[in-house]
């Protein structure tokens, strides 16, 4: 019924005693996520909400609680070290919410994690939610999600929420929703997430939301063309963006013809993706695509 996170998830939050970490850790816990630990160096021995133990290191938290998933809220200069700490503690799924992580730091983390068994979502992402499993590992508003069989994968957090809101309004539930992040270098690509959705027997179709910059959407199109077994509806935003100007995300900048929205749309359409004409048509396009 989901990918990445589910009822078996045992969540720890790095930076749980900070303002953002404490706020969103509480929201995850309220949604039903099994929050087993927090990690803040120097705060070991404290309790979060009078019940969740706080540890000085991820290694200690994993040893004591069996945590297998990490949600990271630490300043940009410490984010890479926080990710590596979770990887070294054998955390399976890591979602790094932090925005503004130096690109070189992310490059080094990307190279390091590829040799390991951990899955990194982000950085600069909203995280992951699986509505049917009552498991939220991120910052998305939980109340707009309902259980179902449509997977959502997006470079934009806000547009993920817009897509989910439209699907829910039409009674179309979601299996899992993944915000992969808007930085130039990220831990998991469209292709990585599409592979998971393809293998998930309870996902019947996918909404893919891309934007200008890079070639991630073209890579997704090639993967879909090569044998992805489920229908995909795709939206590309930034069609009016001028070349060379960053539009929102650090990775949303046209640096060549392949980074243009028009080229991405062309690639996805040629792979059989149902193109969503505008942000207001996400839900109705999916409904028509699946003959609901």
Per-residue pLDDT of the chain (292 residues; tens, 9 = 90+): 699 999 999 999 999 999 999 999 999 999 999 999 999 999 999 999 999 999 999 999 999 999 999 999 999 999 999 999 999 999 999 999 999 999 999 999 999 999 899 999 999 999 999 999 999 999 999 999 999 999 999 998 899 999 999 999 999 999 999 999 989 999 999 999 999 999 999 999 999 999 988 889 999 999 999 999 999 999 998 665 555 555 454 544 445 566 788 899 999 999 999 999 999 999 999 999 988 7
List the domain boundaries for the chain.
1-124, 140-292
Q: What is the pLDDT of residue 253?
A: 47
CATH C-level class of 1-124:
alpha beta
Q: What is the pLDDT of residue 39?
A: 98
Is omega for the bond preceding 123 within 30 degrees of 0, making it cis?
Answer: yes
Q: What is the pLDDT of residue 213?
A: 81
Q: What is the pLDDT of residue 260?
A: 82
Domains 1-124 and 140-292 share a fold: yes
pTM of the predicted protein model: 0.93
Q: What is the pLDDT of residue 252?
A: 45
CATH of span 140-292: 3.40.50.261
Return d(Cα 203, Cα 172) in angstroms, integer. Answer: 12
Q: What is the pLDDT of residue 285?
A: 97
CA distances from 51 to 15, 39, 43, 48 (A): 16, 14, 15, 6
The one catalytic residue among 145, 149, 216, 249? 249
Q: What is the pLDDT of residue 61?
A: 98
Annotation says 249 is catalytic = yes
Q: Which two tokens stand for residue 74?
A: 């630490």
């Amino acid at each position: 019924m989901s990918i990445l996170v589910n009822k078996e998830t045992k969540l720890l939050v790095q930076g749980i005693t900070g303002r953002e970490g404490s706020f969103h850790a509480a929201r995850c816990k309220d949604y039903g996520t099994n929050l087993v630990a927090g990690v803040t160096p120097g705060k070991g021995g404290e309790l979060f909400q009078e019940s969740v133990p706080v540890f000085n290191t991820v290694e200690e938290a994993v040893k004591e609680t069996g945590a297998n998933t990490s949600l990271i809220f630490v300043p940009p200069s410490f984010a890479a070290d926080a990710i590596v700490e979770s990887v070294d503690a054998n955390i399976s799924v890591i979602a790094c919410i932090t925005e503004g992580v130096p690109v070189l730091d992310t490059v080094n983390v990307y190279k390091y994690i590829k040799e390991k068994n951990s899955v990194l979502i982000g950085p600069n992402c909203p995280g992951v939610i699986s509505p049917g499993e009552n498991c939220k590992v991120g910052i998305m508003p939980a109340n707009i999600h309902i259980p179902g069989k449509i997977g959502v994968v997006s470079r934009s957090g806000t547009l993920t929420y817009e897509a989910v809101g439209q699907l829910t309004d039409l009674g179309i539930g979601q299996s899992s929703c993944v915000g992969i992040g808007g930085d130039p270098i990220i831990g998991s690509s469209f292709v990585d997430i599409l592979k998971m959705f393809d293998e998930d027997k309870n996902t019947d179709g996918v909404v893919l939301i891309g934007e200008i910059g890079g070639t991630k959407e073209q890579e997704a199109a090639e993967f879909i063309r090569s044998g992805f077994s489920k229908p995909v509806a795709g939206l590309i935003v930034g069609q009016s963006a001028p070349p060379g100007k960053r539009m929102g995300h650090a990775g949303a900048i046209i640096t060549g013809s392949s980074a243009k929205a028009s080229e991405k749309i062309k690639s996805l359409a040629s792979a059989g993706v149902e193109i969503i004409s505008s942000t207001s048509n996400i839900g109705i396009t999916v409904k028509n695509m699946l003959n609901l």
